[in-house]
Amino acid sequence: MKREGKIQVWQDYQKDIADDHYFYVRSCIRQNFFPGSEQTFLKILRRELNKDIYENPHHTSCSGIGYHSDIVPFDTIQTIVARQFALMTEAGYQNLAVSCITSFGIYNEIIETWKEFPSELEKVRSLLKKATGREFEIPQNVAHASDIIYKFRDKIASIGENRLVNQKTGKPLKIVEHIGCHYSKMFPSKGVGGAEFPHVLVGMIESWGGEVVDYPERRHCCGFGFRQYLVMSNRGYSVSNSRKKFESMEPYKPDAILCNCPGCPMFLDRWQYVIQEMEGKTYGENGQGIPVLTYEEMAGLVLGYDPWNMGMQMHQTNVEPLLDKMGIHYDTDLKYAGKDGKLIGKPKMVSCGC
């Protein structure tokens, strides 16, 4: 693998990422799947980077899952998106910071549609006005939250307490990077580094001391795919896609998987457990799984945040092997403690690698 070739590709796909004053839009599903991640993002921006980031409680789902499942029509989703933009305009912001990859794809798709078909924009302006009385401006800058962490990755590294280095051997940890399909496969120019060799997560891993695993199926979807997952009898498609990736990355012995999408860490994490139950197969060392992290969790670990405060006990594939390698102290007894220190109960299902 030649690095110079990748650097050339990365240079071809650079995007503007706003420096400050973000209007933050949350993801519907992340707060259930990885409940501490978005809070960690806000904490990093506000406390570590001194940025102004605002969120409005009236913000709703972008309805992207419904749209991609053929339930929500295009006019409806356009109007919902217009309403989010109206909230941003009313709050005096111009830079959208999107937590979800599905939403990020939706926002880009709709903004591009309006550029190509101005009549759609006029229609939506009128629909929103009729329905809510609101007006809106199109954001000047649309960044995914991972773009923002990417932008400040060196700063995070410089103030961080931990590095992606195996404390016992001194060697960089091997990290698989996995971007969400709707991050840059729809519009390669909207993602840092494009779609074939995306740089957004690679940049973080390298700045924080890790080594990127470039394995054959790195481009492949995690398997979420909306319809494959929403109907239970279709979930075989989902798990089979994830499995294809695990089989492909296994020879590289990765220490962790890093994702920037709500769905990917969910499926790459949960399906490891399911495959273990179905086939008795695990992909990490010593019968354990490969820990799967969101970029906020990984940034948080670098910054020395407590893993349980970031909600990492919610992972079905245990994260302890990674914490041990990084030399991060954690209290096993407090893994399932609530915010008030009382135990909230251990999960009944056996997690992967337990």
- Binding residues vs other proteins (CB under 8 A): 1-2, 4-6, 8-9, 194-197, 214-219, 232-237, 239-240, 243-244, 251-252, 274-275, 277-280
In angstroms, what is the minimal distance from the CB of 267 to other proteins? 13
Q: Which is nearer to other proteins, 4 or 70 (CB)?
A: 4
In angstroms, what is the minimal distance from the CB of 120 to other proteins? 25
In angstroms, what is the minimal distance from the CB of 243 to other proteins? 6
Which parts of 44-100 fold into alpha helices (H)?
64-68, 74-90
In angstroms, what is the minimal distance from the CB of 100 to other proteins? 25
In angstroms, what is the minimal distance from the CB of 271 to other proteins? 10
Q: Which is nearer to other proteins, 5 or 304 (CB)?
A: 5
Strands (E) located in the chain: 22-25, 53-54, 95-98, 141-144, 174-178, 211-213, 256-259, 292-294
In angstroms, what is the minimal distance from the CB of 113 to other proteins? 21
- Angle at the Cα of 183 (from 60 to 239), degrees rounded to 5? 90
Residue that is written with structure tokens 């962490």 in the block: 149
In angstroms, what is the minimal distance from the CB of 239 to other proteins? 6
Residues in a beta bridge with 212: 175
Coil, strand, or helix at residue 150? Answer: helix
CA distance 263 to 255: 20
Q: Which is nearer to other proteins, 90 or 225 (CB)?
A: 225
- Angle at the Cα of 26 (from 25 to 28), degrees rounded to 5? 135
Question: Which of these, 226, 207, 134, lies nearest to 164 by C-alpha position?
Answer: 207
Q: Which is nearer to other proteins, 135 or 277 (CB)?
A: 277
CA distance 265 to 179: 10
Q: Which is nearer to other proteins, 134 or 281 (CB)?
A: 281
Q: Which is nearer to other proteins, 215 or 330 (CB)?
A: 215
* Cα Rg of the chain (Å, integer): 20
Q: Which is nearer to other proteins, 63 or 282 (CB)?
A: 282
CA distances in angstroms from 103 to 9, 27, 29, 44, 149, listed in the order given: 26, 8, 11, 22, 18
